[in-house]
Each structure stands twice: as structure tokens, then as C-alpha cells.
Amino acid sequence: MQLQYFLILAAALFCIGIFGLITSRNAVRVLMSIELMLNAVNLNLMAFSNYLDAQDIKGQVFTTFVIAIAAAEAAVGLAIVLAIYRNRDTVDMEQFNLLKW
């Protein structure tokens, strides 16, 4: 019965991450919400690995890859935010509207 608890918790974290991603005005908070969503996905993978594949824990290997890629993406994303801040002097997502039609 506990697999469902972990999956529901992961779904809740994912939905909170989506809420933060769409409603944040600070660009750094958007990146933090993306990390929340990636952690929710990792929790899902780990729960499946423990309850459905307890011998060859392939879900844990997948989770390790997701952790490494999320760290790389956080570094590049924050470098981009820093570069935008130097050019525009703000991190307000409402002001980054050059691509708006």
C-alpha cells in the first residue's frame, strides 16, 4: 500500500513545482521550481525502483543520471540569469518580453 503514498507525494510536489514555475516573477524562483519538479520525478523513479524492481534497481541508476543532469542544468540556467541581470539590471520575468509578439 505504501507505493501509492510515495507516488501521490511525488505528484503533489510536481504540481507545486508547476505552480511555482508559472506564477513566479523572480527568475531564480523559476529555476528553484524546476528543481522541485525534477525531485518529484526522482521520487517517483525511486518508489517504482523499490516496489517493482527491487533486485536490479534500475530506477536508482536512472535517478542518479537525473540528479547529475539537473545539477548541470541548474548551473547553466543560473549563469544565464546572471548574464541577463548584467544586461537588463532586473530579474523580473515580466520584463523579459523581447520574444513576445
Site residues for another protein, 11-70, by CB under 8 A, read 11-20, 22-29, 31-33, 35-36, 39, 42-43, 46-47, 49-58, 60-61, 63-65, 67-70
Element of type H or E holding 7: helix 2-23
Instruction: Give the count of beta carbons closer than 10 Å to the beta carbon of residue 21.
Output: 16
Minimum distance from residue 55 beta carbon to another protein (Å): 4
Q: Closest CB to another protein among 86 and 101?
A: 86
User: Does the protein bind another protein through residue 99 (CB under 8 A)?
Assistant: no
100 part of the interface to another protein, by CB under 8 A: no
| The amino acid at 78 | L
> How big is the chain by its Cα radius of gyration, in Å?
17
86 binds another protein (CB under 8 A): yes
Scan for cell 514555475, then name that residue: 21
